[in-house]
């Protein structure tokens, strides 16, 4: 496994990090982590050189940290780097910062976090973090030895990122970068801003919530022709890990097949050549021709008070865009979304501000509702 040195060169991070937001679950329920299968993933990851584990207070409806705390008990604390995040949307008083942080230490069964982030900063969450003194709080935790490195994850425009990096000193930052969002979400400019401020970058969503594992027929043909034996996800991981200011690339792996494929990509790692960067630009153009909803299944929009399974509905719709198979789509939709389909949306708009991909959720659901009605 390729390792990258971090900042003062005393830390050596695996270029592939295990994101713990898409662990295997029972009966399709996000909160019901399948402990046996998830433990197998953690064990295999650590045995094969992955040493960065990333979780957050909200992942798996609050269960990811609890699982990880139990899964890591058998390992010495210095065998891995542990990262978790402060959910600014759950902070309504200054005391909440301390309360949540204390719970996180307890759930994760540890005295300290190696990497600690203010979670999903956008303009609103950043302003809230300033109002509540969140940076000052995590700096205090760092001074007390409860955090080694402080950072933030980010979803907004480059000008907001400029404000954040100029206001405080950060040890690292986490960005959504992949070969499609490099242009679509101005990830290129965001990456440059971190470079200009000498802030090491951690990447999230390198495979865009799994979408780049099935990037469409034309993109697939291009990439298969160049490397017939390699998976679509391997291209996405190599793209992210080839950027020089990147220290680790997080992937939320849900099964052993994905984990083994990503480990293979990052062992004897082959950086992208200039010709391959150009090829991925072409693949991104082909990907963008499809009418897919850019949902990464992060679930920040959930729960919907009216029962809509927002990421589930979008996932089914995206498979339909890919396959164009109406019968298959309708059958799956009726089977899995009797009470949680697009038609339950009341357009209350509660979910919309929580979506880091800025998807017009009620608008997209309306489109899907109309499609289902016409079929
Ligand atoms: S807009 Fe629709 S999907 Fe979003 S929270 Fe309201 S009812 Fe649920
Ligand atoms: S709709 Fe947005 S917030 Fe909801 S799961 Fe998809 S990307 Fe995440």
pLDDT tens-digit map of 195-215: 999 999 999 999 998 889 988
* Predicted local confidence at residue 78, as pLDDT: 95
pLDDT at residue 167, rounded to an integer: 97
Q: Tell how far the Cα of 351 is from the centroid of ligand 2, in angstroms.
A: 9
DSSP secondary-structure letter at 255? Answer: S
pLDDT value of residue 216: 86
Predicted confidence at residue 294, as pLDDT, reads: 86
Q: What is the pLDDT of residue 358?
A: 86
CA of 196 to the centre of ligand 2 (A): 30
Q: Which ligand is nearest to the CA of 340?
A: 1
335 Cα: distance to centroid of ligand 1 (angstroms)? 21
pLDDT, mean over the chain: 94
CB 327 within 8 A of CB 310: no
pLDDT at residue 140, as a whole number:
98
| The predicted structure's pLDDT at residue 336 | 84
SS3 content of the chain, % helix, strand, coil (to 5): 50, 15, 35
CA of 142 to the centre of ligand 2 (A): 32
Is residue 311 lining ligand 1, measured as CB closer than 6 Å? no
Mutate which of 22, 304, 355 for ligand 2? The one with the most ligand atoms within 8 Å of its CB, which is 355
Ligand 1 in contact with 359 (CB < 6 A)?
no
For 126-139, letters b (16+ CB in 10 Å) and e give: bebbeebebbebbe
Instruction: Pick the ligand that lies closest to the CA of residue 362.
Output: 1
| Alpha carbon 84 to chain centroid, angstroms | 12
Cβ of residue 306 lying under 6 Å from some atom of ligand 1: yes
Q: In terms of DSSP bridges, do strands 172-176 and 201-204 run parallel, antiparallel, or are they unpaired?
A: parallel
Task: Name, in order, each residue with C-beta under 8 angstroms of 225's C-beta and a sequence gap of 6 or more.
Answer: none
- Decide if 170 contacts 204 (C-beta within 8 A): no
Which residues does the chain have with pLDDT short of 50? none
Please tell me the predicted confidence (pLDDT) of residue 357.
83
- The residue contributing the CA closest to ligand 2 atom 7 is 295
**Ligand at shortest distance from the CA of 349:** 1
- Whose C-alpha lies nearest to ligand 2, atom 6? 295
Residue of 183, 334, 275, 273 whose CA lies nearest to 191: 183
Ligand in closest contact with the CA of 294:
2
Give the domains, in start order, of the chain with CATH numbers.
Answer: 3-288 (3.20.20.100), 310-374 (no CATH)
Q: What is the pLDDT of residue 209?
A: 87
Closest atom, ligand 2, to C-alpha of 355: 3
Do the beta carbons of residue 281 and residue 179 sit within 8 Å?
yes
Calculate how far, in angstroms, residue 225's C-alpha sits from the geometric centre of ligand 1: 42
């Amino acid at each position: 496994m390729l390792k990258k040195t971090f900042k003062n060169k005393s830390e050596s991070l695996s270029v592939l990090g295990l994101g713990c937001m898409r662990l295997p679950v029972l009966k399709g329920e996000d909160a019901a982590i399948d402990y046996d299968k998830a433990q197998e993933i953690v064990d295999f990851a650590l045995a094969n050189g992955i040493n960065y584990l990333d979780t957050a207070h909200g992942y798996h409806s609050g269960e990811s940290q609890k699982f990880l705390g139990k899964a890591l008990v058998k390992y010495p604390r210095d065998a891995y780097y542990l990262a978790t995040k402060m959910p600014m949307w759950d902070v309504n008083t200054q005391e909440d910062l301390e309360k949540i942080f204390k719970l996180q230490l307890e759930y994760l069964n540890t005295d300290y976090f190696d990497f600690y982030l203010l979670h999903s900063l956008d303009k609103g969450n950043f302003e809230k973090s300033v109002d509540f003194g969140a940076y000052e709080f995590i700096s205090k935790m760092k001074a007390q030895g409860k955090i080694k490195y402080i950072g933030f994850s980010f979803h907004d425009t480059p000008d907001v990122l400029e404000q954040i990096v100029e206001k405080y000193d950060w040890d690292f930052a986490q960005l959504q970068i992949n070969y499609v969002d490099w242009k679509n979400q101005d990830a290129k400019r965001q990456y440059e801003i971190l470079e200009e401020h000498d802030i090491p970058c951690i990447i999230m969503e390198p495979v865009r919530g799994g979408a780049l594992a099935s990037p469409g027929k034309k993109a697939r043909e291009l990439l298969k022709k160049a490397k017939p034996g390699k998976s679509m996800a391997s291209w996405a991981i190599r793209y992210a890990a080839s950027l020089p200011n990147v220290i680790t690339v997080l992937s939320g792996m849900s099964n052993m097949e994905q984990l083994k494929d990503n480990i293979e990509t990052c062992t004897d790692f082959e950086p992208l050549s200039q010709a391959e960067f150009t090829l991925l630009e072409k693949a991104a153009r082909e990907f963008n021709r499809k009418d897919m909803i850019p949902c990464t299944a992060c679930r920040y929009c959930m729960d919907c008070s009216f029962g809509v399974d927002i990421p589930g509905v979008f996932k089914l719709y995206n498979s339909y865009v890919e396959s164009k198979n109406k019968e298959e789509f309708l059958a799956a939709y009726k089977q899995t979304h009797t009470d949680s389909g697009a038609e339950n949306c009341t357009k209350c708009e509660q979910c919309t501000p929580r979506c880091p991909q800025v998807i017009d959720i009620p608008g997209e659901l309306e489109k899907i509702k109309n499609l289902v009605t016409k079929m």
